[in-house]
Amino acid sequence: MPVTENKSRSTIRLPEWLKRDVLLNEESRRVHSLIHEFNLNTVCQSARCPNRNECFSNNTATFMILGNTCTRGCTFCDVPKGKPQNLPDTEEPANVAHAAKMLGLNHIVITSVNRDDLKDQGSAHFAETIKKIRKILPEATIEVLTPDFRGDKECIKTVINGNPDIYNHNIETVPRLYREVRPGAIYSRSLELIKYVKETNSEIITKSGLMLGLGEHTDEIIETIKDLHLYKCDYLTLGQYMQPSRDSYPIYRYLEPSEFEELKLIGLKIGFKKVFSGPLVRSSYHAKEFHND
């Protein structure tokens, strides 16, 4: 496979297939305005997603609840880290629901920062947000992208009992790189979470994803994909890691689009119901189309 590799792990040139040229337009400005009006956060902005202007232009956004400060220190992520200064905003679940209605959404993705400082780690806030959306948009599909809740089954079950349509928890990378990329997370714990969701409510679709280009080898990717399928993951997303800031974990290489296509075929052959694989794929990118396809 052809590879654009960063052997020195310094800054390397962005390949053409990863360059975005989607400018702000009337619709994207409207999304920005609604987010500001309802005092909401989006992972699109906080994590500097390269697709944010495209998604905003299409009246879509991934709502990030529980504040904008994460208690974990994942080195790939640009969300602010530290000790959150505030308790969860009790108005936030209703605000997310109202914003989703005003945007005309029928597939809503809710994620959050880690809140290890809270007794329930924010799980009840997830459930309440689902409840508020169901009340206002009963026909909408709701997808949650949650932290690992440190493996606490009561917290995970609280979200499950909120009855989301899709439960996403990203494995993010191969086990060898966890200590560097996901300090505070445990590979087996993330796998067990996915399995627990499916075993607790088989009607919920389970989903997970990996970032590629962090230094993993192809055989490690395939083994991780096999693990996810073994632990009852239905949907798989594979995308290119793009270093969000100079202080973030360095990019090792850019995979060619053909590599993503090969991995998609491997995932489907292993047995996933759906695989969304490509350089610009993110766990919530085109989530509605991915689910409905």
- Cα(245)–Cα(41) distance, integer angstroms: 19
**Domain-embedded: residue 3:** no
Is 4 part of any domain?
no
3-state class (DSSP) for residue 114: coil
For residue 251, what pLDDT is reported? 93
pLDDT tens digits for 73-83? 898 888 889 99
Specify if 9 maps to a domain: no
Predicted confidence (pLDDT) per residue in 50-61, tens digit: 545 455 445 456
- Interval 196-216 mean pLDDT: 97
Residue 108 falls within a domain, yes or no? yes
Query: What is the rounded CA–CA span in Å between residue 244 and residue 266?
Result: 28
- Domain range for 286: 20-292
User: Is residue 253 domain-resident?
Assistant: yes
pLDDT at 99: 87
Q: With cut-offs at 50, 70 and 90, classify the pLDDT of residue 34.
A: low
Query: Would you say residue 7 lies in a domain?
Result: no
Which CATH number is 273's domain given? 3.20.20.70
In-domain check, residue 10 = no
Mean pLDDT of the chain: 85
How many domains is the chain built from? Answer: 1
Per-residue pLDDT averaged across 155-170, rounded?
97
Query: Any idea which of 31-45, 116-130, 169-183, 247-261 has the lowest mean pLDDT?
Result: 31-45
- Within-domain flag for 1: no
In three state form, how does the secondary structure of 90-115 look?
A: CCHHHHHHHHHHHCCCCEEEEEECCC
Please provide the DSSP assignment of 156-177 as one string: HHHHHHT--SEEE---BS-GGG
Higher-pLDDT residue of 28 and 243 is: 243
What is the percent of the chain with per-residue pLDDT over 70, rounded to a whole number? 78
Split at pLDDT 50, 70, 90, the class of 21 is low
Residue 44 confidence (pLDDT): 45
161 Cβ neighbours under 8 A, 6+ residues apart: 127
pLDDT in tens, 217-265: 999 999 999 999 999 999 999 999 988 888 889 999 999 999 999 999 9
Query: Rounded to the nearest 10 degrees, how much is the dihedral formed by the CA atoms of 189, 171, 291, 158?
Result: 30
pLDDT at 160 over 70: yes
- Phi and psi angles of residue 52, each rounded to the nearest 5 degrees, phi first: -60, -40
